[in-house]
Amino acid sequence: MSLTEEQILAADDMGLLELEVPEWGGSVHIRVMTVGERDSYENEWMVNKSKGVDNFRSKFLQRVLCDENGELLFTAQEVDKLAKKSARVITRVWEAAMRHNALTDGDVEELAKN
């Protein structure tokens, strides 16, 4: 059966992942980025790859950390707040968020090549 435009747009494909973060005293929710958000993130990476992207992990997490309703917890202006958290904890959350968003180490390497 072929889907209609309405069926595609009505489909809830933005699933949430709940991740326990004991160091923070609870859990966080991670949402799937929209394709537009992912394109924007990847474009920023590609445009700045020669010098790198400051707060690479924090900028990604800002786009996906959310409450149980899918509302983002941090604005783009608050990335620096995330950047001050433990690298050990942020890396673990970032890796889970990358998997949940179907981004792999290979994807990051490919961005670095382009």
Strand, coil or helix: 107: helix
Indicate whether 84 belongs to any domain.
Answer: yes
pLDDT of residue 48: 73
DSSP 54: T
pLDDT digit string, tens, across residues 10-60: 998 888 999 999 999 999 999 999 999 889 888 887 777 777 778 889 999
Indicate whether 8 belongs to any domain.
Answer: no
CATH number of the domain where residue 25 is located: 3.30.2220.20
Q: Which domain holds residue 79?
A: 16-113
pTM over 0.75: yes
Indicate whether 89 belongs to any domain.
Answer: yes
Mean pLDDT of the 57-70 span: 95
pLDDT of residue 113: 57
Cβ-in-10-Å burial (0-12, 13-18, 19+) of 97 comes to buried
